[in-house]
Amino acid sequence: MSPNQLTITQALDKLRKNEFSSVELTQACLDRIEQTDTKLKAFITVTKDEALKVAKNADEIYQKQPEKINDYPLLGVPVSIKDLYSTKGILTSAGSNILKNYIPPYDATVVKKLKNAGAVIIGKTNLDAFAHGSSTEASDFFTTLNPWNLEYLPGGSSGGSAASVISDQTIFSIGTETGGSIRQPAAWCGIVGLKPTYGRVSRYGVIAMASSLDSPGPMCKTVEDTAIVLNVLAGHDPLDSTSSSVPLVDYTAALNQNLKGLTIGYCEKYLNKPVQPAVAQAIRDALKTFSGLGANIKTIELMDPKYAVAVYTVLQRAEVSSNLARYDGIRYGHSVLRNKKYQPEDIIDVYNETRAAGFGEEAKRRIMLGTYTLSAGYYDAYYLKAQKARTKICRDFEKAFDKVNLIVGPTSPSTAQKVGARNKNPMFGEMEDILVEPSTIAGLPGINLPCGFGNNLPIGLQIIGPQFKENKIIQAAYAYEQATDWHKKRPKIASVAG
């Protein structure tokens, strides 16, 4: 087995035993990127020289300062990072033309924590521009392809991250989720993706999409790896006013705990159309597995997820219109303006030209709809009503969690869609995220893990828990993972080289 095919746990074990070096591990990932990314297009930027430099420093610690190894929980392990995180001295484009030349002067808190843990940043991954989408087809640069079948999409917006993990271009990745952007691409690519409780992981330095929803999180090959990374990322950040101070737990302590006494709920509404029959059957089979592991299975009632689509659309568009207002041609200029001379009185022209040239069609649609819902005369009819409905969704989950410990269902109603699917439906993202949007609206933690195949493409199972109960989610996810082999499946993509 090539080093790049390993999990975090396996890689750390072999690094500590001196079976290979971090430089060799990092080079194996870089070689894999070179072999496969011409077709997959998972990366916007590959940081080869910097990655090898950091890997060499990690090897120095392994060889000369072994007493310090435990101070670095990810020492020498390569990671790819969604290109929505500020990375000091490294291009941070958000997949958009308007930021295609932006080099941040600082690191996001998540990036800083990864560096402090000894991780090796191997590159920045592709996404729908400003995270506006569920396929990467809305990237201003290119579309990432699904490693299981190059005619299909990887999901999004963290599609580049998901593709880089399942194709073994990296050991793990970091994504963000606003309405499904970690769990849905994790489902379509067949990996583990965790969306933490809102506020559990700092948003500082993450280019904002919808500030009341955005949640950074890990995308890994196994549940155990996810727990290891969450231990690094979670915690209060004084630089993020929405960061929670709820006490932390050791998430790896939830591994290997049995499910006896745990009650898992499921809702039939989450298994009806438009859910594909193969997806619904895979979830029912998973429920049988949970029951066999000792969990109590209980049917529950939840609001129809279609209501969450309406709520999410209004709230997310409103926050997008506010967050994208900062790209005015003054602080962040589009490249078409760099060689032009403007007078102070031309500031409106700069503003209009920058936004017209820099924003793609999806961003413009969301800005216009968000501005409309916030405008005088429509605020009460749309935005305020959506906020009230959001509260009802939160209360609905609270009632459910009075009866069960966790909720299980499909992550996406379908397996991966074909390239071009988004072009046929302006609400493509919302419909593919319909089953995860309710929980993200409520700020709840959720995890995706592979649970089967349909049409030779992965099917994703999601487990949702109460706020700050990531440990319970990890407990159930790990037990299911250990009882099945789905997480061991890998696509055969050697033929895509060149």
Active site residues: 82, 157, 181
State the Cα–Cα distance between residues 94 and 84, nearest whole angstrom: 5
CA–CA dist 370, 359 (Å, integer): 15
What single-letter DSSP state applies at residue 128?
A: S
CB-count exposure of residue 95 (10 Å: 0-12, 13-18, 19+): buried
Contact 135, 421 (CB under 8 A): yes
CB 179 within 8 A of CB 412: no
| 425 to 133, 159, 168, 455: CA distances (angstroms) | 12, 19, 32, 22
Backbone angles phi, psi at 274, to 5 degrees: -90, 15
The token pair at 265 is 């709920």
| 385-394 LR contacts (CB < 8 Å, sep 24+) | 385/314, 386/310, 386/311, 386/314, 386/315, 387/315, 389/307, 389/310, 389/311, 390/311, 390/315, 390/441, 390/442, 392/303, 393/303, 393/307, 393/308, 393/311, 393/438, 393/441, 393/442, 394/441, 394/442, 394/443
- Whether the CB-CB separation of 486 and 309 falls below 8 Å is answered with no
- In the block, which residue shows the tokens 């006490």? 247
Rounded to whole angstroms, what are the CA distances from 454 to 117, 191, 493?
38, 15, 19
Q: Find residue 45's DSSP bridge partners.
A: 124
Q: How many residues does the chain have?
A: 498
Q: What does the alpha-carbon distance between residue 430 and residue 314 come to, in Å, rounded to a whole number?
A: 11
Provide CB contacts within 8 A for 331, sequence distance 6+. Answer: none
Question: Are 311 and 386 contacting, i.e. CB atoms less than 8 angstroms apart?
Answer: yes
Q: What residue type is assigned to position 94 of the chain?
A: A
Residue appearing with tokens 């060689």:
339
Cβ partners under 8 Å of residue 64, min gap 6 = none
